[in-house]
Structure 1
Amino acid sequence: MKNPVLIIAYYWPPAGGPGVQRWLKFATYLGRHNFDVTVVVPDNADYPVVDESLIAEVPDHISIIKVPINEPSRLASSLSRKRTKNLQKGILPKNAGPLQRAMIWMRGNLFVPDARVGWKSRVLKGIHPYLLAHKNPTIITTGPPHSIHLVGLELKKKYTGFKWLADFRDPWTTIGYHKHLKIGTRAQKKHERLEQEVLDSADMIIVTSPHTGREFASKSSTPIQVITNGFDITTASTTRQPDGAFTLSHVGTLLSDRNPLVLWEVLADLCNDDASFKAVFQLQLAGNVSDEIIDSIKEYGLGTNLKQLGYLSHQEAVEVMFNSQCLLLIEIDSHDTKAIIPGKIFEYFASARPIIAIGPKDADIENLIQHTHSGQYFNYLEKQNLKNYILEKYKLYKNGNNEGQLNDNITSYKRENLSKTLAKTIAYTWE
């Protein structure tokens, strides 16, 4: 007899982005480890980005419970759809107008912990038949949105006989964008209280980075398991230099605060120093990018070298990775972002293309890149070292030798292998 697992997730196909991949793949592989998997997802959600191609990846062997959701973003969109979508994507304008400032304040103070908090009561009602039909299930909540964890918290208050694992893909009260939501004292205290209740009430906490694990361990005695994100694509079969221009590509969202001026300055210097570099250099951005980022690139004279691809399907994004000379990984220069490990880094590893990463000192991604020998990590003060590294890659490119590196160290990040760790973690909570 298979063990029942109920996964409650907001992001699910056709939603796009890395938050979907984690539990889509875990649900897929858990079915191969003697688990009967059911996933609770919103019906008719207002996702900030959509990737219809992911629907085909949902396996037949898992059950889906769709629960209707009322999205405040739909009401806000009637006032300004573009601005609402940007806020949903995390693109917060530096020079926000009165309407945008009001929307940001409401998001931070009226919807705690987030705008999907109203879905909780509907989920509790929607899963009641499941709880009656399944004995001793394992319930997994995954956030953000962290309001999903409030479902598990409410169940713990009302029921016994199940185990609850709370999966944090990002931190809660220490996540970087909180400071931009104009959160008042009362709302902040509510965030902290809810976070503490979730941490203390869950049977197991799952986190995606060691930094977040250490943060939560300092707040609660609940057992913690680090299970990073991973990849499920076929690894590169060759390390050969791709054809085409000397392309540096960033795949994913680039927020206003993640604006690496040091990189634009270095690239502008290289273009000004060598006309042949400028002639073959291409800066390629795939994903949602803030206007401030584009303006900065153009201010540094790189507009003619910029190629904006917009949001791509997952498969299209992977193709960009495999066909780039180098891959850019940019994180905000802040203590709060040291714990962030972007999900795309693992597919970067699989592509075997050299990574150029810029972020805060002592970040978890720095250790990952060093461990996998997949590129070079720089902090925001290392302008000359960054310039030297890009110039080194360019010289290799001119000679046809800008090869990547296949590394056995990345096999532990295959989602199939990570799912084995998850299966053991579930078993541990029942011991």
Structure 2
Amino acid sequence: MDSKLGTKALKGVLMIAYHYPPVQVSSGLQRTLSFSRYLPDSGWQPLVLTACESAYPTISNDQLQDIPVSLNVQRAFSLDTARHFSFKGRYFNWMALPDRWISWLPFAVIAGLRMIRQERPSVIWSTYPLATAHLIGWVLHRLTGLPWIADFRDSMVDDVFPSPGIRRRVYQWVEKKAVESCDLAVFTTPGAVELYKQRYPHLFYDKWHIIPNGYNEEIFQEVEQQSVQPNEVGSPLILIHSGVLYPSERDPVAFFQAIAELKAKGQLSAQRLCIVLRATGHDELYSPLLKDAGIDDVVKLAPGMPYREALSEMIQADGLLIFQASSCNHQIPAKLYEYFRARRPILAFTDKQGDTAKALLEAGIKTVVALDDKDAIKAEFMHFIYALEEGTGSVVSKEKIDQYSRRSASKKLGELLDRICCEGK
């Protein structure tokens, strides 16, 4: 819903984000979309600068309804190097540095300058995971002198990403420019903040801030008001993983092996359990693995679906699964907070020392096991199944859920925007 505050009294913030409806991706786009909905409640009027539809590999109109009617959204021209400039699937590396949407840069800068001249925002905000978005923010910041918040979410560069080579060097250059030029740098987890404090020790500690991801209460309430079909008595338990399963960062191979051994011992069957991996983004890799392991009747690969349908599926599931490698200990999948709000039992395959595990433990969820430990997965998985069958699976309390609402996150961003304006006077 739109804010009740009059837009004429609000200060403006130019928000640069590649991921914005109608792009069809996992829960990552919800961060910018929610900020653009709720920032007016904190006295700020968003102006969204995003990419045109041709830049997106897939689109869906299901969340266009969530964009406030009064919102100024400018879609600058952009193409995808891999889809528009490749020949037989190949293209020169320099055409995709720092990423495949570098063509967005000149058109977005022109559109951004026009928006700044016409709307006179007080602050620029740009958001990763597209490095080009931070380049646009940096250029507009340099050209206009407006203060700039760089929303990194996760780290741009870590031990395994990007892989060694020119792309990694370009990412490091963009990251350094953004970190040293922006007025504030925002991340989603404590681990990411600590990583950057150590990486850039010469910068003031008050530059770094945390705004976690979250869930949208209004959309959850809307989904819950619709008819929800309970699972039939005697039907298999339904476990859901919703979203991309990266082969390196969320490798499910040890999980597949554990399921195969449990099935071979007669502890699991398609009559007892159905595991749905929704929109993995890598079905072509996982499909033969499931077939070779003989578990493609238990573990199902399913295509993406509209956002509200995905939330409904979470709510109706018997249990929810999270995968996160130890190399991503400073990250928390955005979907975790939607899992919290769905109030279904959660089983996490992740390092107990990482931020994902810490967020689960703080929320009262103790079903956490290492992603690559097959034997530990087997034991914890069966405990999880028994608890689901007995109705004793743990869920997050309402009191803990409330702190992760998107409205709460937008309020925190509003406070940072106010701080920048006060410091700039």
Residue 253 of structure 2 corresponds to residue 261 of structure 1: yes
Residues 427 and 292 of structure 1: CA distance in aligned 2, closer, same or farther (over 3 Å): same
Question: Is 1:149 the equivalent of 2:149?
Answer: no
Structure 1 match to 2:379: 388
Give the drift of 1:75.
Answer: 2.1
Q: For residues 139-164 of structure 1, what are the alpha-carbon distances to aligned partners after superposition, in whole Å with 9 as ceiling and x for unaligned?
A: 1011121111112212232222x210
Counterpart in 2 of 1:232? 216
Per the alignment, residue 28 of structure 2 pairs with: 19
Answering whether residue 158 of structure 2 is matched by residue 174 of structure 1, we say yes
Question: Where do 1:270-281 residues align within 5 Å?
Answer: 270-274=262-266, 277-281=269-273
| Equivalent residue number for residue 9 of structure 1 | 17
Instruction: Specify whether residues 265 and 59 from structure 1 end up closer, same or farther in structure 2 by C-alpha distance, changes over 3 A only.
Output: same
* Residues 338-392 of structure 1: per-residue CA shift (max 9 Å, x gap): 1221111111111111111112452110101101123522113544443233222
Q: Could you say if the C-alpha distance between residues 224 and 152 of structure 1 is closer, same or farther in structure 2, counting changes exceeding 3 Å?
A: same
SS in 2 for 1:373: coil
Q: CA deviation at 1:293?
A: 1.8
Structure 2 Cα separation of the partners of residues 155 and 276 of structure 1: 57
* Residue 132 (structure 1) aligns with: 117
Provide the C-alpha distance between the structure 1 equivalents of 2:14 and 2:51, rounded to a whole number of angstroms: 14
1:417 shift after superposition: 0.8
The answer to whether 1:377 aligns with 2:368 is: yes
Residues 363 and 397 in structure 2, CA contact (< 8 A), matched pair in contact too:
no
- RMSD value, Cα: 2.6
Superposed CA offset, 1:296-343 (max 9, x none): 2222210122322211111111122112222111123x43x1122111
Contact map agreement 1:163 1:203 (CA 8 A) in 2 = yes
CA shift, 1:34, in A, is 1.5
Q: Is the 8 A contact 2:124 2:141 kept in 1?
A: no
* Of 306, 312, 319, the match for 1:326: 319
* SS state at 2:42 partner: coil
Aligned partners of 2:245 and 2:252 also within 8 Å: no
Q: Give the letter aligned to residue 32 of structure 1.
A: D
The equivalent residue for 1:91 is: none
Which moved further from structure 2: 164-173 or 5-14?
164-173
CA distance in 2, matches of 1:310, 1:259: 19
* Conserved? CA contact 2:315–2:344, under 8 Å: yes
Q: Report the Cα distance in structure 1 between the residues aligned to 2:244 and 2:76, rounded to whole angstroms.
A: 28
TM-score by length of 2: 0.86
Match of 2:54 in 1: 45
Q: Which residue of 2 aligns with 1:95?
A: none
The Cα of 1:412 is off from its aligned counterpart by 1.0
Letter of the 2:126 partner, please give it.
T
Q: Counterpart in 2 of 1:368? A: 359
Per the TM alignment, residue 42 of structure 1 is displaced from its structure 2 partner at its CA by 1.4
Aligned residues between the structures: 399
Given that 1:46 and 1:74 are in contact with CA atoms closer than 8 Å, whether structure 2 keeps it comes out as no
Q: 1:396 to 1:19 in 2, by over 3 A?
A: closer
Letter paired with 2:152:
F
The Cα offsets for residues 112-150 of structure 1, whole Å up to 9 and x where unpaired, read as 211222222211211223222344611101112111111
Residue range with higher mean Cα deviation, 23-32 or 151-160: 151-160
* Residue 288 of structure 2 corresponds to residue 295 of structure 1: yes
Matched ranges for 1:51-70 at <5 A = 51-70=60-79
1:217 aligns with 2:197: yes
Aligned to 2:278: 286
Q: 1:403 to 1:211 in 2, by over 3 A?
A: closer
Q: What is the alpha-carbon distance in structure 2 between the residues aligned to residue 189 and residue 285 of structure 1?
A: 34
- Tell me the distance in 1 between the aligned counterparts of 2:256 and 2:80: 38
Q: Structure 1: state its 5+ residue gaps.
A: 81-101
Alpha-carbon deviation of 1:43? 1.9
Shift, 1:230, TM fit: 0.5
Percent sequence identity is: 21
Q: Contact 2:270–2:297 (CA<8 Å) still a contact in 1? A: no
CA change 1:260–1:246 in 2 (3 A) is: same
- How far is the alpha carbon of 1:73 from its aligned partner? 2.9
Residues in 2 aligned to 1:416 and 1:110: alpha-carbon distance in whole angstroms: 39
Rounded Cα–Cα distance in structure 2 between residues aligned with 1:403 and 1:215? 32
Judge conservation of contact 2:162–2:168 (CA < 8 Å) in 1.
Answer: no
Q: 1:308 and 2:301 equivalent?
A: yes
Show the 5 A alignment for 1:85-96. none
User: Which residue of structure 1 lines up, in the alignment, with residue 338 of structure 2?
Assistant: 347
Residues 373 and 407 in structure 1, CA contact (< 8 A), matched pair in contact too: no
1:173/1:385 CA distance change after superposition, 3 Å: closer
Q: Which moved more, 1:244-253 or 1:271-280?
A: 271-280
For the residues of structure 2 that align with 1:383 and 1:73, how far apart are their CA atoms?
37
Distance of 2:109 and 2:40 partners within structure 1: 24
TM-score, normalised relative to structure 1: 0.85
Q: Does 2:39 align with 1:30? A: yes
Pairwise CA distance, 1:407: 4.0
Which residue of the partner structure matches residue 90 of structure 1?
none
Q: 2:148 aligns with which of 159, 164, 167?
A: 164
- CA distance, structure 2, for counterparts of residue 322 and residue 398 of structure 1: 17
- The structure-2 alpha-carbon separation of the partners of 1:400 and 1:268, relative to structure 1 and needing over 3 Å to count, comes to same
